Amino acid sequence: MRFNYERIFRGNKIAVMIGLGVGVAIFLLAPFYFYRFYRPFRSYPARIYSYLANPRFGCRSFGEIAFGRGFLETIFNGCFEHGPGELEKGQIGKGHIMDFTGACHRVIESAVDAVVAATGTGLAQKTWSQEMSIIPGVVVRGRFSEVRIAIGAMGRAAGAGTGAGAAGIPALVRVERQVVDAVLRSGGVIMDIRRGVLDEARAGIGFEMDIGIRGRVFAMTVPIRVMSLSVRLEGAPERPTREGAREAARLAIIIDDVGYNLGELGRLIKLGRPMSVAVLPHAPFAAESARRARVGGLEVLLHLPMEPLNGAANPGPYAIRCDMTDEEIRRLVLDNLGRVSGAVGANNHMGSRATADIRVMRDVLSVLADRRLFFIDSRTAPGSVAVEAAREVNAERAVEVMPGRSGAAPAIRLAVNDGFIDNQADPVSIEGQIRFIERLALRHGSAICIGHLRPTTIQTLREMIPELEGAGLRLVHVSELVH
């Protein structure tokens, strides 16, 4: 028997249309029905996501519908994992409460212990419980802490008579590194680090850090902020006038990401100051930018693309990656140097993963040492091992090339970035970061900072350079500060 669907549809057009309409209405209204009248679906949006992401969760809920709650608890009890947070008893049908208090407490305690160990001083801490809604029908429960500490100019807690800790800026660097290491060991994550002027009225500089955990909510991993840490160095020196300064402190400014905008490069050259530019080898105007910079009196560096920790971030082509062989790394560094003619050194573009790999950094620095070039560690992440790699390369070259000699010039010279001035592109933020670098230079006699080829950065430098020079700073090429 054969059905003539066209004939059936023509003869029963109205009935077919009504049937299709009813079917579509049932399909669309069924979720709202279950949401309104059936308790396990009260948190409908979160449940649907969970069914798709975790089949075991779907089996659990549908088992509840088919066999009742008692049977479900007997069969599926303990089979649904939630990572560090556990489903609170008695919440089935009313949404979920994920308890991450234990994980939060562990990370907070590790960070606090690291701060105390690094500074040897007390701190101000305020901790409280908190709940937040990540997705509809889900409440995350945890702990949150605010920690504030002020270190005196000589490494003691502000107002304290005794205390351990190195003096000045090195104390801040050591505290930051120890906190980062402790947080990562405890399973936490560093969500953000802000460095600069924290208290203009009291001349306080330091860093602020947001610390969190990565909690599993069903099959989804979400970052949860659990701690805010602020470390401030008090007692920064007053800005001396030119008459009161015995010798001008040196400030080296590096402008990154050059090679895309020749117009902005021309504005930078017109400032008429000795600065350095880092040219991206894959930029469309890389060769021309390097040529114009040299003619304009700027120092040219290779802005070497290197692999970041964030896999979603793209360093561009010709990037140095950790899975490359030694020979691949050497060949790629040489290729990048060939694309930026006249480069006297290099610094890293991104590279938070690559600069933390001692093998990769030894390979990169060995190539630069062969060319008698220097390296500037941009310090895009606290875990950089560039200094350690340079020390190893210099030790190897001293044994191979200059046995028995002491005091010889190092094979690879290196310096470290003291801070980025335009992570936030607004002029107020840029000015604040330049003030921070100014204090570092006046305190230690020299400093290195990095900006980018942006209109706001160049305009802010144009306005502030005369004031910086009047305060006793002398702008220099970064090659003067490597050692």
pLDDT digit string (tens) for 351-380?
A: 999 999 999 999 999 999 999 999 999 998
What token pair was written down for 146?
A: 């605010």
Output the 3-class SS for 404-457: CCCCCCCCCCEEECCCECCCCCCHHHHHHHHHHHHHHHHHHCEEEEEEECCHHH
**Contact assessment for residue 111 and residue 229, using Cβ atoms and an 8 Å cutoff:** yes
pLDDT at 202: 44
Asked which of 105-109, 154-158, 341-345 is least confident by mean pLDDT, the reply is 154-158
Question: Higher confidence at residue 242 or residue 19?
Answer: 19
Question: Higher confidence at residue 160 or residue 149?
Answer: 149
pLDDT at 184: 85
Q: What is the pTM of this model?
A: 0.57
Find where tokens 């305690």 sit: 109
Question: Higher confidence at residue 4 or residue 476?
Answer: 476
Q: What CA–CA distance (Å, rounded) separates 283 from 447?
A: 28
Q: Which long-range contacts (CB under 8 A, 24 or more apart) does 315-322 make?
A: 315/349, 315/350, 315/351, 316/280, 316/282, 316/349, 317/282, 318/281, 318/282, 319/349, 319/350, 320/351, 320/354, 320/360, 320/364, 321/354, 322/353, 322/354, 322/357, 322/360
**How does strand 220-233 pair with strand 345-350?**
unpaired
**How does strand 220-233 pair with strand 249-258?**
unpaired
**Contact assessment for residue 282 and residue 317, using Cβ atoms and an 8 Å cutoff:** yes
What token pair was written down for 268?
A: 């930078």
Q: What is the mean pLDDT of residues 299-326?
A: 92
Q: For residue range 36-53, list pLDDT tens digits in order.
A: 444 444 444 444 544 454
Q: What is the mean pLDDT of residues 105-132?
A: 81
